[in-house]
Amino acid sequence: MIEYKNPKLLINKSNFQAGEICWRSPSNIAIIKYWGKHELQLPRNPSFSFTLNNAHTFTCLAYNLKETKGISFELIFEGKENTSFHPKIFKFFEQVVEIYPFIEQLHFRIETENTFPHSAGIASSASAMSALSLCLCTLERKLFNTLLNQKEFLQKASYLSRIGSGSACRSVYPTAALWGETNSISESSNLFAIPFKDEIHKVFHTYHDDILIVSKIEKSVPSSAGHDLMEGNIYAMNRYQQAKDRLNALLKALKEGDLVSFGTICEAEALTLHALMMTSNPSYLLLKPSTLSIIEEIRNFRTETSIPVYFTLDAGPNVHLLYPDEFKEIISEFITQKLLFYCIDQKYIQDIIGEGPSLASDS
């Protein structure tokens, strides 16, 4: 069992230099959904995601020594001082302080912005918490000359990200990531995600994810509350087993480049996620009439053309359209002709599978 708690990671004040570290980190879209957790963000079932490219968070962590001990930071979101994210960041620092005791010796100025609009149905907590975790791991490396091995670095960044937001732990890797124990993959873990680029067919490396925005209204039930409701859901145990079985079938399809099996599992997972919300107590429903209309259009288009375009959904009403690069022109035409009608401002966000986070600066 991996143990990152380390009381030795304290700064020697005599040779300290203030500085700033900036990371760009992407969001990700889950194909097998993480839904249900226990203890400190441990998943009830394994999940699998594609890493996005354009939808990302850019975060700079400026740090300086301070006199008094304790958690201290200011947060600038999209150019403005922001206090609404304070509780989440404060809790995160508290939860990782035994891993990084130097946090209490420093004052941080966190400047952060997203490339995508808030509430666009893109998981901003995944990109935001992974960007911040990557900044902290770079800071560890800088202060203590540790984490020099890239695999160890990313694994620890994934572990910290998980504590910030479960899905964030999958964002630190290029192309695709798997999080949660599964018998079929010996290195898999509930504590951090593992990279999955080399195990999947090349066709998936250039996949597209177009996001059709049907509503920008803040979700009525946040994901954290949705996870909690799984604890009382009578389908929970079957669901966790189903996710494991679907993951094994998905891994086979990903390896073989079997687009139909991939897409069938992908859509089943999206609808299962929302079925679990509807069968929670209290029940809730995040889908909108336009979500269903888009789903119907996609399925009709697929039947007519045999083009392997499939949808998935996050914990919201917006629809993610997944398809191979070779169909980008025809899908763009399809979206313009049939789907934009259902979208807010007749717009959608175009994304592709990405190469993972990048260090933007370290001074």
Backbone angles phi, psi at 291, to 5 degrees: -60, -45
By CB under 6 A, tell whether 123 contacts ligand DP6.
yes
In whole angstroms, the minimum distance from the beta carbon of 47 to ligand DP6 comes to 4
Smallest separation (angstroms) from ligand DP6 to the CB of 196? 14
Is the previous residue joined to 7 through a cis bond, with omega within 30 degrees of 0? no
Select the residue interacting with ligand DP6 from 30, 52, 136, 193 (CB under 6 A). 30
Q: Which residues contact 190 (CB under 8 A, 6 or more apart)?
A: 42, 43, 179, 180, 181
Question: Which three-class secondary structure state does DSSP give residue 67?
Answer: coil
- CB of 300 vs ligand DP6, minimal distance in Å: 26
Binding-residue total with ligand DP6 (CB under 6 A)? 17
Beta-strand relationship, 106-114 and 73-77: parallel
- Candidates 314, 318, 323, 335; binder of ligand DP6 (CB under 6 A) is 314
Shortest separation between residue 45's beta carbon and ligand DP6, angstroms = 10
Residues in contact with ligand DP6, shown as a per-residue x/- string from 157 to 196 under the rule CB under 6 A: --------xxx-----------------------------
Does position 34 interact with ligand DP6 (CB under 6 A)? The reply is yes
Backbone angles phi, psi at 195, to 5 degrees: -70, 150
Q: What are phi and psi of 208, to 5 degrees?
A: -105, 150
From CA 123, how far away is CA 254, in angstroms rounded? 23
Tell the smallest beta-carbon distance from residue 162 to ligand DP6 (Å).
8
> 25, 27, 41, 59: which one contacts ligand DP6 (CB under 6 A)?
41
Q: Which residues pair with 351 in a beta bridge?
A: 209
Question: Which residue among 27, 45, 47, 155 contacts ligand DP6 (CB under 6 A)?
Answer: 47
Residue 44 interacts with ligand DP6 (CB under 6 A)?
no
95-130 per-residue burial string, b: 16 or more CB within 10 A, e: under 16? ebeebbbbbbbbbbebbbebbbeeebbbbbbbbbbb
Interaction site with ligand DP6 (CB under 6 A): 30, 33-35, 41, 47, 123, 125, 165-167, 223-224, 227, 273, 314-315
